[in-house]
Amino acid sequence: MTGSTRYEIEHVSRYRYTLPARQSVMSLCLRPRDGEGQQLLSFEIETDPPTSFNSEVDSFGNTKYVLNIHREHLELDIAARSVVDVAPIASISDSLGPDAWEEIHSRGNSIENWNFTHPSVFARPSASLNAFMKRTGVEPGSDPLKTLRRLSDTLHQSFQYAPGSTSAASPIEHVLESGRGVCQDYTHVMIAIARSWGVPSRYVSGYIYVARPEGEQALQSAHHTHAWVECLLPGAGWIGFDPTNGSLADDRHVRIALGRDYHDVSPTRGIRRGGGDSSLEVEVRMQVRPSRTFGILRA
């Protein structure tokens, strides 16, 4: 793709058990998507202990892999490696047409957008959400695009990014009441609010490239998985908003999967027999070629 940025990514998940696990069955959502401004050039998964995989495509078009380990193990390492080209985002106008809200509302109950306009497990209405919207003055303005930009900025300014303050299972009430959270919390709140206005909104899991400060070597640095929002707007298509960083999603963002919320796209999920207590460590390494310098964003 002309003008694209190429990323080499390694995503390693390390499970450790206090007792031997006799069997592990897991679903892996780690394969970056191919299309919509992104081209997947290669992808592989390696595990220790070694095992074979079956692949499947879910209802949102995400490719997932199922692994099944039938032997005792105290550790399970999963390494996903990919090479992805990401094109620059197309220019976006400052506003939409005068009938944009009317068009959004006319599509609100369509079968095609049903999953992205109605509440889901982690993106749903609540008393805490209503109180937050009232307190911050969040409400739809005359233009949907300007409204969503303002919403993203408001969430960026209202919450404190605090790794470890929430878990994958935390409801939006936690960040709304404590003011502390991580990317998936910002994303769930924005989705819940945008859907309440009738805007089709979906959860995107992926990676974000985080370069070192300007002037330093920027081929590799610390990275994490990331999450942001895509909203469907008349005449513009799906537009990515990153409320964690108060910005639009751009060619620093690599998309893995799409869904209603985190529940649909968690990177690893499964069950096991035995194993006692468990711990998980995740490490993501990204390299970009040719070298580019970007502003530092939170992942």
Structural domains of the chain, ranges and CATH numbers in brackets: 5-87+267-289 (2.60.40.2250), 100-263 (3.10.620.30)
Task: Name residue 216's beta-bridge partners.
Answer: none
Q: H/E element holding 85?
A: strand 73-86
Backbone phi and psi for residue 40, each to the nearest 5 degrees, phi listed first: -85, 115
d(CA 154, CA 6): 32
Q: Could you say which DSSP state residue 219 is in?
A: S
Global pTM? 0.92
Backbone phi and psi for residue 185, each to the nearest 5 degrees, phi listed first: -70, -45
Q: What is the pLDDT of residue 95?
A: 86
pLDDT less than 70: residues of the chain: 1-2, 212-223, 290-299
CA terminus-to-terminus distance, the chain: 25
Structure tokens of 240?
Answer: 């990515």
Q: Cβ neighbours of residue 35 under 8 Å, at least 6 residues apart?
A: none
Residue 140: closest CA among 197, 199, 202, 200: 197
Q: Which residue has the tokens 């878990």?
A: 167
Task: Name residue 274's beta-bridge partners.
Answer: 21
d(CA 290, CA 182): 30
Q: Taking each helix axis as running N to C, give the angle between helix 100-107 and helix 144-158, from 0 to 180 degrees, rounded to the nearest 10.
A: 80
